[in-house]
Structure 1
Amino acid sequence: MARRRKGFPVLAGALLVVALVAWLVGGWHASGPLAEQVEFDVGEGAGLSVLADELEASGAVESATLFKLRAKLLGGGTEIKAGSFLLPKAASEATILEILKGDKVIRRLITIPEGMPSVMVVDRLMANKDLTGAVDVPEDGSVLPDSYDWQKGEKRAAVLKRMQAAMDKTLAELWAKRTARTVAKTPQEALILASIVEKETGKPDERRMVAGLYSNRMRQGMLLQADPTIIYPITRGKPLGRRIRQSEIQAVNGYNTYTMVGLPKGPITNPGRDSIAAVLDPVETDALFMVADGTGGHIFADTLQQHNANVAKWFALRKARGDM
């Protein structure tokens, strides 16, 4: 009888341990208090203690203390990634930690379209209220048009730096693949000519042809006569919103290719990858002239006589449309 009594505390202790483990594991996998899906932000370098307190404050877990305890005992490591995550309705503590340790970060993208000038890039960054800090307008041609990830609270300067690093990398890669047909003597000249090509055509399949035309003009020492180079000193690349004035066509500055031979002194916008590639591998052509065809593209000509005929057709089309 005495032996049975001695075994009772051992059994009771074992049952208590089992109950404690069941409570810990059950609470770890039980449905949580979230009444709906929420977005949860994790700051760079946030530790488990801070994270647990923020989860409790947001209503994602009942107790920060219990979450920390269960995470350490049952979480299999607590390396949390910075970013924004979606926590589902009634997510368990186990599910929450799994999400925060995983790769399902909400991707927030800021898109810079091909041909967007730097003043408008900065406008887009400043319009994003979830980014922080001021940023100066960078040089045109220094930003690669693309879509970029960003996080809440990130500095605008950091996002801009990634855009510029992407351009540096892309330009270096494309420059290494340039062909003998390019007239660009340096990567900077490639950027400048690519910025003109970017602004001159809205059709991707025309880029190499337009690049070939301007390459021919440069080889022959002809004026490039690209309208966007007239506009750039006036608006820094933003739309002019009206027709170009004769005085502006005749203006002498470092950009107007109607009054200067050769390339402008700098890019007139941020060209995309395809426009840069086009000037580094232009079409082999005899074309020296082009005029709009009414579809967003152009008609190309080898001689001035052909060009004048094409211009006459373009003017007739515009009159028929009531544009003139």
Structure 2
Amino acid sequence: MWRHIASNFLTLLVVLLMAAAGAVAWARHQFSGPGPSAIAQCVQVERNATLNAVSQQLADQGTVTSAYIFRAGADYLGKARDLKFGSYLVEPQASMQDVLDVITAGGPSTCGTEVLVRVGVRGNTILLRDMNPDTGAFEEVVRFDPDSEEQPAEVTEAVDRDGSRLRVAMAEGVTSWQVVQALRAAGFMSGEIDAVPAEGSLAPDTYEVEKGADRAALLAEMERRQANILAEEWEARPFGLPYETPEEALIMASIVEKETGLPEERAEVASVFVNRLEEGMRLQTDPTVIYGITKGEGILDRGLRRSELASRTPYNTYQIDGLPPTPIANPGRAAIRAALNPDETDYLFFVADGTGGHAFARTLDEHNANVRRWREIEAQRGEPTDTPVQTGG
């Protein structure tokens, strides 16, 4: 009888062990296999959130199939205490392990609500945007001009909302004064700015900030990044360029940045100015003249006057030899690289060609022919045909 009982017990034990092994295998498959969501999900991890709360939230919104299995997997992998505050975009059918990796890796938020301060050449804008999980793209909710409009209530609420992403996006070619104006208008930042940083010293980029971030500290980070970029590109430059210092290369890069908006033209435009410097020719570029008039404070919303082109100022490259004394904007890495790695051409002139790009020329006769074509385009468009032209006009 005892032998029969023992045999039944062992049989039951084997069955239980097999069931347990099967359950573990099933749980592992659930944890590492494709998730239930057919669309991307925006997962928000609140500050100081517990694993229990996040697990249940994920199950409720259909990102994972089981809060219990998600918690067990996080415990098993030693990540139960590694949750990072933020909003994260999770791909369709992401496994529980994928979700866990995303919300414990941290880094900038990749979805949810975003307040973006956009520092642009023609003005500053503050945008409120929400991520559409279906497309993975931010969609604009509110846009306003901080220099002329009051901040809408929706933006204030978004800034105060836990989990909103706050960013400052600085475009290539903006001036340091424009950056300072934008940061002063960013109500979610704090601190005073004592002085406008040196022109050209700020790196165009997108900067993630927190509510209450110090404005001066952000400017210092912009300066640090630009200094690193310039040092790296200067170190990698070829021999034989007409620059004695990195600052001179930065000045040239700022001119290239303002002369063309086409990435593929930067090195070609740079070649024209390098060739002119090597030939002892004046640069004759309008953006430097404009900077001498505006000092980088706003834009000159009109054409240059003949009297302005004839006036001898430190920035009038129609009247002075060589480079102006400082950069005329904050160039991006691509423009700095172009200034230090110009194309090898024998071009000495260029003028707009009507397509957004430029027509390049080796001789004054070729250039004058290009200018005539540009004048014809201006006339067809009903634009003034007596405004100065670029480089050699």
Given that 1:181 and 1:282 are in contact with CA atoms closer than 8 Å, whether structure 2 keeps it comes out as no
Equivalent-residue separation in structure 1 for 2:219 and 2:81 (angstroms): 32
Instruction: Tell me the residue number matched to 1:133.
Output: 191
1:281/1:100 Cα in 2 relative to 1: closer, same or farther (>3 Å)? closer
Equivalent-residue separation in structure 1 for 2:82 and 2:215 (angstroms): 27
Q: Identity across aligned pairs (percent)?
A: 45
Instruction: Tell me the residue number matched to 1:239.
Output: 299
Three-state SS of the structure 2 residue aligned to 1:133 is: coil
Unaligned runs of 5+ in 1: 1-36, 43-47, 53-73, 88-97
Instruction: Tell me the residue number matched to 1:167.
Output: 226
Which of the numbers 93, 103, 107 marks the counterpart of 2:106?
A: 103
Which of the numbers 158, 174, 180 marks the counterpart of 1:122?
A: 180
Whichever residue aligns with residue 209 of structure 1, its letter is: E
Instruction: Tell me the residue number matched to 1:312.
Output: 372
Given that 1:194 and 1:275 are in contact with CA atoms closer than 8 Å, whether structure 2 keeps it comes out as yes
Given that 1:181 and 1:280 are in contact with CA atoms closer than 8 Å, whether structure 2 keeps it comes out as no
Larger relative contact order (CA 8 Å, sep ≥ 6) = 1
Greater strand share, structure number: 2
Whichever residue aligns with residue 106 of structure 2, its letter is: D
Alignment length (residue pairs): 248
Q: Tell me by how many angstroms 1:189 deviates.
A: 0.4
- CA deviations 1:115-136 (Å, max 9, x no partner) are 0111111122112111101212
Q: Tell me by how many angstroms 1:148 deviates.
A: 1.1
Give the TM-score of the pair, scaled to structure 1: 0.70
Three-state SS of the structure 2 residue aligned to 1:290 is: strand
Instruction: Tell me the residue number matched to 2:268.
Output: 209
Given that 2:83 and 2:103 are in contact with CA atoms closer than 8 Å, whether structure 1 keeps it comes out as yes
Equivalent-residue separation in structure 1 for 2:337 and 2:87 (angstroms): 39
Equivalent-residue separation in structure 2 for 1:204 and 1:139 (angstroms): 25
Q: Tell me by how many angstroms 1:108 deviates.
A: 3.0
Which of the numbers 210, 215, 219 marks the counterpart of 1:156?
A: 215
Equivalent-residue separation in structure 2 for 1:318 and 1:200 (angstroms): 18
Q: Tell me by how many angstroms 1:99 deviates.
A: 10
Equivalent-residue separation in structure 1 for 2:258 and 2:224 (angstroms): 22
Three-state SS of the structure 2 residue aligned to 1:312 is: helix
Given that 1:181 and 1:281 are in contact with CA atoms closer than 8 Å, whether structure 2 keeps it comes out as no
Greater helix share, structure number: 1
Instruction: Tell me the residue number matched to 2:238.
Output: 179
Q: Tell me by how many angstroms 1:220 deviates.
A: 1.1
1:304/1:159 Cα in 2 relative to 1: closer, same or farther (>3 Å)? same
- CA deviations 1:193-235 (Å, max 9, x no partner) are 0000000011110100110000010011111001001110222
Given that 2:45 and 2:103 are in contact with CA atoms closer than 8 Å, whether structure 1 keeps it comes out as no
- CA deviations 1:283-302 (Å, max 9, x no partner) are 11111011100111110101
Q: Is 2:340 aligned against 1:280?
A: yes
Q: Tell me by how many angstroms 1:252 deviates.
A: 1.6
Give the TM-score of the pair, scaled to structure 2: 0.58
Q: Is 2:199 aligned against 1:198?
A: no
Three-state SS of the structure 2 residue aligned to 1:108 is: strand
CA RMSD of superposed structures (Å): 2.7
Equivalent-residue separation in structure 2 for 1:152 and 1:121 (angstroms): 18
Q: Tell me by how many angstroms 1:100 deviates.
A: 9.4
- CA deviations 1:251-279 (Å, max 9, x no partner) are 22211101100000000000110111011
Given that 1:85 and 1:99 are in contact with CA atoms closer than 8 Å, whether structure 2 keeps it comes out as no
Equivalent-residue separation in structure 1 for 2:79 and 2:167 (angstroms): 32
Equivalent-residue separation in structure 2 for 1:228 and 1:154 (angstroms): 34
Unaligned runs of 5+ in 2: 1-42, 51-74, 89-100, 110-164, 385-393
1:123/1:219 Cα in 2 relative to 1: closer, same or farther (>3 Å)? same
Q: Tell me by how many angstroms 1:182 deviates.
A: 2.5
Structure 1 segments, 4+ long, off by >4 Å, are 37-40, 74-81, 98-102
